Amino acid sequence: MNPNIPEDIIERAYQGKTTKEDALFLLEVPPFKLFELADRLRQETVGDTVTYVVNRNINFTNRCIGNCGFCAFCDNTGYILGIPEILEKVRDAESQGATEVCIQGGLLPNVDINFYTDIIRAVKTEFPHIHTHAFSPMEVYHAAKQTDITVGEALTMLKEAGLDTMPGTAAEILSDRVRDIICPGKLKTDEWVDVITQAHQTGINTTATIMYGHVETIEERIDHIMLIRKIQKNTSGFTEFVPLTFMPYNNKIGAEMIKQGRYATPGMQDLQLYALARIILNTHIDNIQASWVKLGKKLAQVALFCGVNDLGGTLMEEKISASAGSTNGQFMSAQELEWFITSSGRKPLQRNTIYKPILSNDSEQMKFKVA
């Protein structure tokens, strides 16, 4: 291992110009040197505040016509929630202080854009103050195709119905080589980029994600983050970047890995990816989010010293990771999240979906920017 990080690599990191070669080099230095650089960039960008959102996941169906090899959630004899059931879940979330509902589901064969706009319109009619963070790029693409309209038209209809922001999921790894193996029926890399770019141009901010630790190479992970950076330079529409480690249980891709003696990613590799994300995206995306559901609470706490400044949401009802073998729980209260952050020596702050502070504690310390 190279013991030190050269000054020119550090300089490019500060300027937001980290190259792929820089990133590969950084994976060869002692991990704590990498973490130290990422932590320094985090501190200078967003300070010592660690944010979270009080939210609820609502997965309206686990039926899906897709064939993703990593999915353990799909069940074609499963459930479909009606609008009254969705509204009841929103009502329950509101009673627990949620400011956001994240609504996603499997791809149903006989629905069009009206299915999606009806859900959003119903939620916004009864709960106009609740932020609707809903529908992945794949769902938007599917809705447009089913309705025989353009993606742009679908996005406009969703925004007019009351859609606030979108999750940048369905990204997995933005490499068609990988996608042909793990999700051959899903939209291609260019199609994902097109939906996301058009969402930003329509005034719909999104998150950005990566789902790693299956069949991709290290170089493909780096290429993915570089592509996210390129999109952000063009649109400024991403609010945060969220690395999601692959969960290998109860799915086809995971079964193949386990046969080979591979069990997702080691914790040190997870932390290296969080650190690389902070470094590559420096000056472009300020907020790096750790998924406590994927990492586990204790490793997520360590990630706060590897470039992470956000711990996502309380979730209240997380089903997708749990179905793939996560044992880290489906809900963490705001009180526990705050304790979790404070015990790390950081300052907790409740935020809304677009990173505006909701509580006043130490809000003068907030440095983060909103897209």
Annotated binding-site residues read: 64, 68, 70-71, 136, 172, 291
Phi, psi angles (nearest 5°) of residue 67: -130, 40
Tokens of 313: 């949401």
Binding residues for (3R)-3-methyl-D-ornithine are: 136, 291
Chain Cα centroid distance, residue 145 = 24
Tokens of 68: 């993703």
| C-alpha gyration radius of the chain | 20
Q: Do residues 279 and 26 touch, judged by C-beta distance below 8 A?
A: yes
Binding residues for [4Fe-4S] cluster are: 64, 68, 71
Phi, psi angles (nearest 5°) of residue 56: -135, 135
Residues in the chain, overall count: 371
Binding residues for S-adenosyl-L-methionine are: 70, 172
In DSSP terms, 289 is beta-bridged to: 310
Tokens of 215: 């069949």
